[in-house]
Amino acid sequence: MSFIEENVQRVQARIRAACERYGREPEDIRLLAVSKTKPVSDILEAHRAGLREFGENYLQEAEAKIAEIAPLPLDPAPQWHFIGPIQSNKTRLISRDFDWVHSVDRFKIARRLGEQRPDDREPLNTLLQVNIDREPQKAGIDLDEIPALAAQIAALPGIRLRGLMAIPAPRSDFDQQRRPLRALRQAFDALRSDHPACDTLSMGMSGDLEAAIAEGSTLLRIGTALFGARAPKTTGNPTP
Ligand SMILES: *Cc1c(COP(=O)(O)O)cnc(C)c1O
């Protein structure tokens, strides 16, 4: 078995064990493979191992990979999620080439994404990014800004508001990990009572997927545990 195949099985076993422990159903939890900085060959290997959804942070890098993979006869076709910071001059390509975007935190960006969504594609599945630990260097809105922004964005053509995403500050203690995730879950429950179509809570990474499952995540974004450590990036945005 290859390194990535083995990792896929290991991560799936972690997900099953956490589901068992916290009374969740594995079918209710999607596994997004975060392939930033990793080559197309790794993505193809993860696809062969059964993964279907891939997350990218850097648009230029993502565009090259999507273009290389698009002509290949992959069945089912991979779904692409944009999970990195969004500059307004990048919305056209994101809206054209991605199925999901997790990192919307401004109305203007959402409006551009919606306007630029090609007519022959389904509305762009959109999550609001919440800066759950209020870290100055991180993107995202505060919890109390969710209702107003959600109401504005839910009304946009070309956009389908699906839920929330957050990247908590790294913590190693399990109970400490759970606290911000629980706050996000509570905000998600409130969001759903106003917007019943919201069904996606994107939280949980390689180091906190168990805590995220315990607190109600429906979509885990996993990089390192699937593809191995990433080399530090020398240009562009810092890797969160
Ligand atoms: C890189 C990244 C991940 C994956 O993190 P790992 O710790 O490698 O699993 C998840 N979400 C976002 C937004 C990222 O940038």
pLDDT in tens, 44-60: 999 999 999 999 999 99
Output phi, psi for 155, to 5 deg: -85, -5
Q: Which amino acids bring their CB within 6 angstroms of ligand 1?
A: 34, 36, 57, 83, 167, 205-207, 221-225, 240
Query: Is a pLDDT exceeding 70 seen at residue 233?
Result: no
For ligand 1, atom 15, the nearest C-alpha belongs to 240
For 148-161, the pLDDT digits (tens) are 999 999 999 999 99
Which of ligand 1's atoms lies nearest the C-alpha of 206? 9
For ligand 1, atom 10, the nearest C-alpha belongs to 221
Share the mean pLDDT of the chain.
96
Output phi, psi for 72, to 5 deg: -75, 145
